[in-house]
């Protein structure tokens, strides 16, 4: 069988100009694809960070108070920043493969990433967009500790008619499920009760998981009743006090309180999605 001969009169004809790609995606769709591509690179970067710091127990080590939570937060925020800085180029490759166009990372950076690394590190939070649109899994170590007190949580949940997901989320946000946690403000135990509040609730040993959760759930139930079941206000009052909620007629504009409410709502989403 004879080979086929191909006659080309102008060998440069096929490469004189690139193939034109006419994308059928709308601008709104392309923004979503760009964000999805950068989120994928962010997730990949976060996995790499976890792998690289595994031997040291994460960026903050294993033993520091709240280190498991802060490890996750830093890994998430740093990986987001790296992906928005186009340091790996994975997002650009994915975007171009789908749309046929180059990804202008700078176009989306300010809108989606919040500007720069300093903002990202200062954020260290689940903002309102993240809390409503994303669900970040709590640290595995904290979930393991939480599982050990599951019967106590279920008992308090039934007694005071408060969702288990809400109680679990508060315990994670307050103490990372450490029964011996003590904050800089001297709040103590799993649900971080202050001594006067604990005494008022009849809690004699704040470091006893059952007593602490009993007291914390009782207090939360009273706040839910006070605010007609409005969880956001109850959570804000749990963190900043009822007087602050009354003063601002809603969630106080305190960065800590706003982040606290959003973090708990994020955890609630996680538990509800996993039917826990």
Distance from C-alpha of 209 to C-alpha of 188, rounded to nearest angstrom? 11
Beta-strand ranges (E) seen in 89-241 are none
Q: How far apart are CA 179 and CA 212, in angstroms?
A: 9
43 backbone dihedrals φ, ψ, rounded to 5°? -65, -40
Locate 66 and state its tokens: 């709240």
User: Which residue in the list 41, 75, 77, 174 is annotated as catalytic?
Assistant: 174
Helix (H, G, I), strand (E, B) or coil at 63: coil
Cβ distance 265 to 271 under 8 Å? no
Cα 191 from Cα 263, distance rounded (Å): 15
Q: Is 174 a catalytic residue?
A: yes
The four Cα atoms 113, 117, 123, 126 give a dihedral, to 10 degrees, of 40
Residue 62 forms beta bridges with which residues? none
Calpha distance 235→251 (Å, rounded): 9
Which residues belong to the active site?
A: 174
């Amino acid at each position: 069988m004879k080979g086929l001969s191909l006659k080309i009169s102008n060998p440069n004809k096929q490469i004189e100009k690139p193939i034109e790609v006419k994308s059928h995606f709308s601008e709104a769709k392309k923004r979503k694809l760009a964000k999805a591509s950068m989120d994928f690179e962010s997730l990949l970067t976060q996995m790499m960070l976890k792998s690289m710091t595994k031997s040291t127990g994460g960026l903050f080590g294993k033993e520091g108070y709240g280190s498991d939570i802060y490890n996750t937060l830093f890994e998430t925020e740093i990986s987001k920043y790296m992906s928005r800085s186009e340091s790996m180029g994975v997002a650009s490759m994915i975007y171009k493969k789908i749309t046929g166009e180059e990804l202008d990372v700078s176009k989306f950076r300010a809108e989606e990433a919040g500007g720069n690394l300093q903002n990202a590190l200062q954020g260290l939070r689940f903002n309102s967009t993240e809390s409503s649109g994303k669900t970040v899994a709590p640290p595995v170590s904290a979930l393991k500790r939480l599982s050990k007190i599951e019967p106590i949580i279920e008992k308090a949940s039934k007694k005071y008619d408060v969702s288990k997901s809400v109680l679990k989320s508060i315990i994670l946000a307050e103490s990372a499920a450490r029964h011996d946690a003590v904050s800089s403000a001297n709040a103590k135990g799993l649900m971080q009760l202050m001594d006067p509040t604990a005494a008022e609730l009849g809690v004699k040993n704040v470091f006893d998981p059952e007593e602490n959760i009993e007291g914390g759930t009782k207090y939360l139930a009273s706040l839910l009743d006070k605010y007609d079941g409005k969880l956001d206000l109850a959570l804000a009052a749990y963190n900043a006090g009822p007087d602050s909620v009354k003063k601002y007629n809603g969630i106080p504009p305190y960065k800590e309180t706003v982040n606290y409410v959003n973090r708990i709502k994020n955890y609630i989403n996680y538990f509800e999605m996993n039917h826990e």
